[in-house]
Amino acid sequence: MAIPTLIDRLAEEGYIVLPDLIPTSTLQRLRVEADAVLTCLLDQMEVARTTDPRVTWWRLATGRMYVLKVKPVLDLAPMAAGVAACDVLRGLMAELLGGRPQLMEDKFMYKQEVDVLARWATLPVLGEEVCKHTDAAYFAARGFSRVLTVAVCLDDCTEATGALRVWPGTHRQAIEHIPTANQGPVVPDDVAPDRAAVLLEAFAGAVMIWDSALVHASGPNTTSRPRRLLVLGYTCSTER
Protein backbone atom coordinates (compact mmCIF):
# COMPACT_ATOMS: atom_id res chain seq x y z
CA MET A 1 0.00 0.00 0.00
CA ALA A 2 1.35 3.44 -0.94
CA ILE A 3 2.62 5.67 1.86
CA PRO A 4 0.12 8.50 1.16
CA THR A 5 -2.71 5.98 1.49
CA LEU A 6 -1.32 4.71 4.78
CA ILE A 7 -1.02 8.26 6.10
CA ASP A 8 -4.60 9.04 5.11
CA ARG A 9 -5.96 5.83 6.64
CA LEU A 10 -4.05 6.40 9.87
CA ALA A 11 -5.37 9.96 10.08
CA GLU A 12 -8.96 8.89 9.40
CA GLU A 13 -9.28 5.55 11.21
CA GLY A 14 -6.43 5.79 13.69
CA TYR A 15 -4.82 2.45 12.80
CA ILE A 16 -3.29 0.39 9.97
CA VAL A 17 -2.20 -3.25 9.64
CA LEU A 18 0.73 -4.22 7.43
CA PRO A 19 0.99 -7.98 6.74
CA ASP A 20 4.23 -9.94 6.28
CA LEU A 21 6.54 -7.06 7.21
CA ILE A 22 8.87 -9.09 9.46
CA PRO A 23 10.80 -12.08 7.98
CA THR A 24 10.16 -15.55 9.40
CA SER A 25 13.78 -15.96 10.49
CA THR A 26 13.60 -12.74 12.49
CA LEU A 27 10.29 -13.78 14.06
CA GLN A 28 11.71 -17.04 15.31
CA ARG A 29 14.64 -15.29 16.96
CA LEU A 30 12.30 -12.75 18.55
CA ARG A 31 10.13 -15.54 19.98
CA VAL A 32 13.14 -17.24 21.54
CA GLU A 33 14.33 -13.92 22.93
CA ALA A 34 10.92 -12.98 24.36
CA ASP A 35 10.64 -16.32 26.14
CA ALA A 36 14.18 -16.07 27.48
CA VAL A 37 13.58 -12.58 28.87
CA LEU A 38 10.44 -13.67 30.69
CA THR A 39 12.00 -16.87 32.07
CA CYS A 40 15.04 -14.98 33.33
CA LEU A 41 12.98 -12.33 35.11
CA LEU A 42 10.63 -14.87 36.67
CA ASP A 43 13.58 -16.90 37.97
CA GLN A 44 15.23 -13.78 39.39
CA MET A 45 12.02 -12.72 41.14
CA GLU A 46 11.58 -16.15 42.69
CA VAL A 47 15.12 -16.11 44.04
CA ALA A 48 14.86 -12.53 45.35
CA ARG A 49 11.24 -13.02 46.48
CA THR A 50 10.34 -9.60 45.16
CA THR A 51 8.64 -8.28 42.03
CA ASP A 52 10.74 -6.71 39.30
CA PRO A 53 9.14 -3.37 38.29
CA ARG A 54 9.54 -4.35 34.64
CA VAL A 55 6.95 -7.10 35.04
CA THR A 56 3.21 -6.40 35.01
CA TRP A 57 1.47 -9.46 36.44
CA TRP A 58 -1.36 -10.49 38.71
CA ARG A 59 -3.30 -13.48 39.97
CA LEU A 60 -6.27 -14.96 38.16
CA ALA A 61 -9.35 -16.13 40.06
CA THR A 62 -7.98 -19.67 39.68
CA GLY A 63 -4.90 -18.67 41.69
CA ARG A 64 -2.61 -18.99 38.68
CA MET A 65 -0.11 -16.21 37.92
CA TYR A 66 -0.69 -14.21 34.75
CA VAL A 67 1.89 -12.01 32.99
CA LEU A 68 0.64 -9.19 30.81
CA LYS A 69 3.91 -7.50 29.80
CA VAL A 70 7.55 -6.77 30.48
CA LYS A 71 8.72 -3.18 30.01
CA PRO A 72 11.32 -2.02 29.05
CA VAL A 73 13.05 -4.88 27.22
CA LEU A 74 15.48 -3.60 24.59
CA ASP A 75 18.43 -3.61 27.00
CA LEU A 76 17.70 -7.30 27.60
CA ALA A 77 16.78 -8.23 24.02
CA PRO A 78 19.34 -7.35 21.32
CA MET A 79 17.25 -8.86 18.52
CA ALA A 80 14.27 -6.73 19.50
CA ALA A 81 16.54 -3.68 19.72
CA GLY A 82 17.71 -4.37 16.19
CA VAL A 83 14.13 -4.52 14.91
CA ALA A 84 13.29 -1.24 16.66
CA ALA A 85 16.24 0.46 14.97
CA CYS A 86 15.98 -1.17 11.54
CA ASP A 87 15.81 1.05 8.45
CA VAL A 88 12.49 -0.39 7.26
CA LEU A 89 10.62 0.35 10.47
CA ARG A 90 12.27 3.70 11.16
CA GLY A 91 11.71 4.79 7.56
CA LEU A 92 8.03 3.91 7.80
CA MET A 93 7.66 5.78 11.10
CA ALA A 94 9.41 8.84 9.64
CA GLU A 95 6.82 8.95 6.87
CA LEU A 96 3.86 8.44 9.20
CA LEU A 97 5.06 10.93 11.81
CA GLY A 98 6.34 13.50 9.33
CA GLY A 99 9.75 13.77 10.96
CA ARG A 100 12.66 11.85 12.47
CA PRO A 101 11.23 9.14 14.75
CA GLN A 102 12.29 8.84 18.36
CA LEU A 103 11.75 5.55 20.18
CA MET A 104 10.30 6.31 23.59
CA GLU A 105 8.75 3.02 24.77
CA ASP A 106 9.40 -0.70 24.32
CA LYS A 107 7.88 -3.85 25.77
CA PHE A 108 7.02 -7.48 25.18
CA MET A 109 3.33 -8.30 25.59
CA TYR A 110 2.68 -11.89 26.68
CA LYS A 111 -0.90 -12.37 27.95
CA GLN A 112 -0.03 -15.77 29.38
CA GLU A 113 -0.23 -17.84 32.53
CA VAL A 114 3.10 -18.84 34.05
CA ASP A 115 4.15 -21.74 36.26
CA VAL A 116 5.25 -19.65 39.21
CA LEU A 117 3.60 -19.86 42.64
CA ALA A 118 4.96 -16.58 44.03
CA ARG A 119 3.20 -16.96 47.37
CA TRP A 120 5.37 -14.10 48.59
CA ALA A 121 3.86 -11.63 46.10
CA THR A 122 0.98 -9.37 47.12
CA LEU A 123 -0.90 -8.91 43.87
CA PRO A 124 -4.46 -8.07 42.78
CA VAL A 125 -6.82 -10.72 41.44
CA LEU A 126 -7.90 -9.73 37.95
CA GLY A 127 -9.18 -11.25 34.72
CA GLU A 128 -7.30 -11.74 31.46
CA GLU A 129 -8.97 -9.01 29.45
CA VAL A 130 -7.42 -5.59 28.84
CA CYS A 131 -10.17 -3.00 29.34
CA LYS A 132 -10.99 -0.22 26.90
CA HIS A 133 -8.48 2.59 27.22
CA THR A 134 -6.19 4.99 25.41
CA ASP A 135 -2.52 5.71 26.09
CA ALA A 136 -2.54 9.38 25.10
CA ALA A 137 -2.94 10.85 28.59
CA TYR A 138 -0.07 8.72 29.91
CA PHE A 139 2.21 9.85 27.09
CA ALA A 140 1.10 13.49 27.38
CA ALA A 141 2.11 13.47 31.05
CA ARG A 142 5.60 12.52 29.89
CA GLY A 143 5.69 15.41 27.42
CA PHE A 144 4.75 13.62 24.19
CA SER A 145 1.84 15.11 22.25
CA ARG A 146 1.64 12.38 19.61
CA VAL A 147 2.82 8.79 19.79
CA LEU A 148 2.34 5.98 17.30
CA THR A 149 2.31 2.48 18.75
CA VAL A 150 3.85 -0.29 16.66
CA ALA A 151 3.02 -3.91 17.52
CA VAL A 152 5.05 -6.64 15.82
CA CYS A 153 3.04 -9.88 15.85
CA LEU A 154 5.36 -12.69 16.94
CA ASP A 155 2.45 -15.12 16.78
CA ASP A 156 -0.89 -15.26 14.99
CA CYS A 157 -3.26 -12.80 16.66
CA THR A 158 -6.80 -14.12 16.41
CA GLU A 159 -9.99 -13.51 18.34
CA ALA A 160 -9.35 -16.71 20.30
CA THR A 161 -5.82 -15.64 21.31
CA GLY A 162 -6.96 -12.19 22.43
CA ALA A 163 -6.45 -10.02 19.36
CA LEU A 164 -6.60 -6.25 19.64
CA ARG A 165 -9.93 -4.46 19.29
CA VAL A 166 -9.99 -0.82 18.22
CA TRP A 167 -12.64 1.89 17.93
CA PRO A 168 -12.00 3.65 14.59
CA GLY A 169 -11.88 7.43 14.66
CA THR A 170 -11.82 7.76 18.46
CA HIS A 171 -8.30 9.22 18.27
CA ARG A 172 -9.95 12.38 16.90
CA GLN A 173 -12.35 12.73 19.84
CA ALA A 174 -12.14 13.92 23.43
CA ILE A 175 -12.50 10.63 25.28
CA GLU A 176 -13.82 10.26 28.83
CA HIS A 177 -11.82 8.06 31.21
CA ILE A 178 -12.81 6.56 34.56
CA PRO A 179 -10.07 5.79 37.12
CA THR A 180 -9.82 2.23 38.46
CA ALA A 181 -7.88 0.73 41.34
CA ASN A 182 -5.73 -1.73 39.39
CA GLN A 183 -6.19 -1.16 35.64
CA GLY A 184 -5.57 2.55 35.26
CA PRO A 185 -8.06 4.90 33.56
CA VAL A 186 -10.62 2.98 31.46
CA VAL A 187 -13.06 4.17 28.82
CA PRO A 188 -16.74 3.56 29.69
CA ASP A 189 -18.87 1.36 27.45
CA ASP A 190 -21.22 4.15 26.45
CA VAL A 191 -18.28 6.11 25.03
CA ALA A 192 -16.93 3.13 23.09
CA PRO A 193 -19.78 0.62 22.58
CA ASP A 194 -18.81 -2.93 21.66
CA ARG A 195 -20.79 -2.76 18.41
CA ALA A 196 -18.42 -0.06 17.10
CA ALA A 197 -15.25 -2.08 17.64
CA VAL A 198 -13.08 -3.57 14.90
CA LEU A 199 -11.15 -6.76 15.62
CA LEU A 200 -7.57 -6.61 14.31
CA GLU A 201 -6.74 -10.21 13.49
CA ALA A 202 -3.27 -10.60 12.00
CA PHE A 203 -0.81 -13.37 11.21
CA ALA A 204 2.69 -13.64 12.65
CA GLY A 205 5.00 -11.20 10.89
CA ALA A 206 2.35 -8.50 10.55
CA VAL A 207 2.83 -5.07 12.08
CA MET A 208 -0.09 -3.16 13.59
CA ILE A 209 0.23 0.60 14.02
CA TRP A 210 -2.20 2.83 15.88
CA ASP A 211 -2.42 6.33 17.27
CA SER A 212 -1.97 6.30 21.05
CA ALA A 213 -5.17 8.34 21.38
CA LEU A 214 -7.20 5.51 19.79
CA VAL A 215 -9.47 3.56 22.12
CA HIS A 216 -8.37 -0.08 22.18
CA ALA A 217 -8.78 -3.24 24.24
CA SER A 218 -8.24 -6.97 24.00
CA GLY A 219 -9.88 -10.12 25.28
CA PRO A 220 -8.39 -13.19 26.96
CA ASN A 221 -6.26 -15.78 25.23
CA THR A 222 -8.56 -18.81 25.40
CA THR A 223 -6.14 -21.14 23.59
CA SER A 224 -2.98 -22.96 24.61
CA ARG A 225 -1.03 -21.01 21.97
CA PRO A 226 1.13 -17.97 22.80
CA ARG A 227 0.19 -14.46 21.64
CA ARG A 228 3.39 -12.48 21.97
CA LEU A 229 3.92 -8.95 20.67
CA LEU A 230 6.92 -6.67 20.50
CA VAL A 231 5.39 -3.26 21.14
CA LEU A 232 7.28 -0.04 20.34
CA GLY A 233 6.23 3.57 20.82
CA TYR A 234 7.57 6.25 18.47
CA THR A 235 7.20 10.01 18.55
CA CYS A 236 8.64 12.76 16.36
CA SER A 237 12.03 13.84 17.70
CA THR A 238 11.19 17.53 17.11
CA GLU A 239 8.73 17.36 20.01
CA ARG A 240 11.44 17.27 22.67
* Confidence check: pLDDT of 238 > 70: no
Predicted confidence at residue 198, as pLDDT, reads 98
Which residues contact residue 157 at a Cβ distance below 8 angstroms, ignoring those fewer than 6 apart? 163, 164, 200, 201, 202, 203, 206, 208, 227, 229
Give the pLDDT band (50/70/90) at residue 113. very high
CATH number at residue 185: 2.60.120.620
pTM of the entire predicted model: 0.96
Tell the burial category of 174 from Cβ atoms under 10 Å away from its Cβ (0-12, 13-18, 19+).
exposed
Whether the CB-CB separation of 195 and 130 falls below 8 Å is answered with no
Write the pLDDT tens digit of every residue in 114-154.
999 999 999 999 999 999 999 988 888 788 889 999 999 99
* Number of domains comprising the chain: 1
- Residue numbers of the domain that contains 233: 3-239
Predicted confidence at residue 237, as pLDDT, reads 86
Write the pLDDT tens digit of every residue in 146-156.
999 999 999 99
